[in-house]
Amino acid sequence: MEISFYLVQLLNGIQYGFLLFLVASGLTLLFGIMGIINLAHGSFYMIGAYLAYWLSGMTGSLWLGILLGLPLALLLGYAVERFAISFLYRRDHLYQVLLTFALILIFNELQRILWGNNVHGVPIPEVLAGSIPLTENQVYPIYRLFISAACIVIAAAMYWVIQKTRLGMMIRAGSSNREMVQALGINVNRLFAIVFSLGVALAAFAGMLAAPVDSVYPGMGENILIISFVVVVIGGTGSIKGAFVGAMLIGLVSTFGKVMLPEMASMSVYAMMAVILLWRPQGLFGRAV
Nearer to other proteins, 37 or 203 (CB): 37
Tell me how far, at minimum, the Cβ of 69 lies from other proteins, in Å.
Answer: 19
Tell me how far, at minimum, the Cβ of 19 lies from other proteins, in Å.
Answer: 8
Nearer to other proteins, 128 or 150 (CB): 128
Whether residue 11 contacts residue 140, with contact meaning beta carbons closer than 8 Å, is answered with yes
Nearer to other proteins, 35 or 78 (CB): 35
Nearer to other proteins, 70 or 213 (CB): 213
CA–CA distance, 275 with 186 (Å, rounded to integer): 40
Tell me how far, at minimum, the Cβ of 144 lies from other proteins, in Å.
Answer: 8
CA–CA distance, 289 with 35 (Å, rounded to integer): 13
- Cβ atoms within 10 A of the Cβ of 168, count? 18
Nearer to other proteins, 182 or 215 (CB): 215
Tell me how far, at minimum, the Cβ of 270 lies from other proteins, in Å.
Answer: 5
Closest by Cα among 23, 33, 53 to 121: 53
Tell me how far, at minimum, the Cβ of 111 lies from other proteins, in Å.
Answer: 10
Q: Give the C-alpha distances (Å, rounded to integers) separating 34 from 76, 155, 182.
A: 18, 17, 15
- Cβ atoms within 10 A of the Cβ of 121, count? 13
Closest by Cα among 93, 59, 13, 97 to 208: 59
Whether residue 171 contacts residue 195, with contact meaning beta carbons closer than 8 Å, is answered with yes
Nearer to other proteins, 125 or 141 (CB): 141
Closest by Cα among 28, 19, 17 to 242: 28
Nearer to other proteins, 63 or 109 (CB): 109
Whether residue 218 contacts residue 111, with contact meaning beta carbons closer than 8 Å, is answered with yes
Tell me how far, at minimum, the Cβ of 102 lies from other proteins, in Å.
Answer: 4
Residue 263 burial class via C-beta count within 10 angstroms: exposed 0-12, middle 13-18, buried 19 and up: exposed
Tell me how far, at minimum, the Cβ of 166 lies from other proteins, in Å.
Answer: 26
